[in-house]
A = this chain, B = another copy of it.
Amino acid sequence: MIDKTIRMNYLYDFYYALLTEKQNQYMSMYYLDDWSLGEIAEYFHISRQAVYDNIRRTEVLLEEYEEKLQLLKKYEGRKTEIEKLKKLLQQGEHPYLDEVVRALENLE
């Protein structure tokens, strides 16, 4: 299980397009730009509790989208398979080995 902040960063990256503008604002300030709850609250002239509640609800929503669409899970599955493939390829020689490995890394 990856660390919660890293997981939320991934989930946010996959599903931000499904969030409202307000949810996107709070989440990007908190998770991407590393603002504190207090700083966000002050910036928007609302209570720290209101920011906290909004972010917690959005986190639950992101987990619900992941449960339904599994984009993070599938991404991690592809990443593992690509790593295995790279190792397999590097056990032999091939005229385009470097090119193939680079293209594989861009596939994720």
A residues apposed to B, CB below 8 Å: 14-15, 17-18, 68-69, 71, 78, 81-82, 84-85, 88-89, 91-96, 99-100, 103-104, 106-107
Nearest CB of chain B from residue A95's CB, rounded to whole Å: 4
Q: Is the CB of B106 within 8 A of A85?
A: no
Q: Is the CB of B85 within 8 A of A103?
A: yes
Known interface pairs A92-B94, A93-B94, A107-B82. Does A68 touch B99 (Cβ–Cβ under 8 Å)?
Answer: no
- Nearest first, the 4 closest Cβ-Cβ pairs linking A and B are A17-B68, A92-B95, A94-B94, A92-B94
CB-CB under 8 A from A82, the residues of chain B are: 107
A-B contact pairs, 25 of them (CB 8 A): A14-B69, A17-B69, A18-B68, A69-B69, A69-B71, A71-B71, A81-B103, A81-B106, A81-B107, A82-B107, A85-B100, A85-B103, A85-B104, A88-B96, A88-B99, A88-B103, A89-B94, A89-B96, A89-B100, A91-B95, A91-B96, A92-B94, A92-B95, A93-B94, A94-B94
